[in-house]
Amino acid sequence: MVDNFAKVVELRLSPKRFKHTLGVAETAEELAHATGVCVEKARVAALLHDYARELSPETLKGLAREANLDDQFSLNQPELLHASVGAFLVQRELGVTDQEILDAIISHTVGRRKMNTLEQIIYLADMIEPNRDYAGVQELRAAASQNLKTGVVAALDHTIRYLLNINKPIHLHTIDARNYFLMGGD
């Protein structure tokens, strides 16, 4: 089944994005192993996390309406919709029903407070997988090597700083997640 998911995703994504997806799977498996999460589940969530990533903004908005998604912020920045729409589509097209996997896909882009361990793994793996190459990624990998929570906070910080630098609005879930983990949430 997992190999089938890899095949399905390979057909939907550009070679570059598929390579990124395999990198996320590799990193997610390592993080799952280190934290006692089911490695197979982490692999499936990773393989499917960007399922809707290459759909057009119009298609994403149409599917968001169909799925009754009401996140106004994401509806105004359709790029963010690929997370929730991806969860909607893997349910409908692939029959994925595992809520933990669906939640990990939903929260992988902006995060959310009280992210469970699998959600944290996918959020972080998406940002530090081996093919990622941006200023600061090494620091994030170093933080992740300490422990999952340290890596997640560093990743949330990095995203918030990046969005400030490029003058983009910041999703409240991202701020909320950072506050939650900084104030002791795990």
Which residues contact Fe ion by CB under 5 A?
A: 50, 126
SS3 state of residue 64: helix
Q: What is the closest distance, in whole angstroms, from the C-beta atom of residue 184 to Fe ion in the complex? A: 28
Q: What is the closest distance, in whole angstroms, from the C-beta atom of residue 186 to Fe ion in the complex? A: 24
Q: How far apart are CA 36 and CA 138, in angstroms?
A: 24
C-beta closer to Fe ion: residue 50 or 119: 50
- Applying CB under 6 A, the residues found at the interface with ligand DGI are 20, 50, 53, 77, 79-80, 108-110, 126, 159, 163, 168-171, 174
Element (H, E) at 14: none
Q: What is the closest distance, in whole angstroms, from the C-beta atom of residue 36 to ligand DGI in the complex? A: 25
Q: How far apart are CA 121 and CA 144, in angstroms?
A: 10
158 contacts which partner out of ligand DGI, Fe ion, none, CB within 5 to 8 A by kind?
A: none
Query: Is residue 33 exposed (0-12), middle (13-18) or buried (19+ Cβ within 10 Å)?
Result: exposed
159 contacts which partner out of ligand DGI, Fe ion, none, CB within 5 to 8 A by kind?
A: ligand DGI
Q: How far apart are CA 98 and CA 100, in angstroms?
A: 6
170 contacts which partner out of Fe ion, ligand DGI, none, CB within 5 to 8 A by kind?
A: ligand DGI
Region of 36 (left: φ > 0; alpha: ψ -120 to 50; beta: rest) is left
110 contacts which partner out of Fe ion, ligand DGI, none, CB within 5 to 8 A by kind?
A: ligand DGI
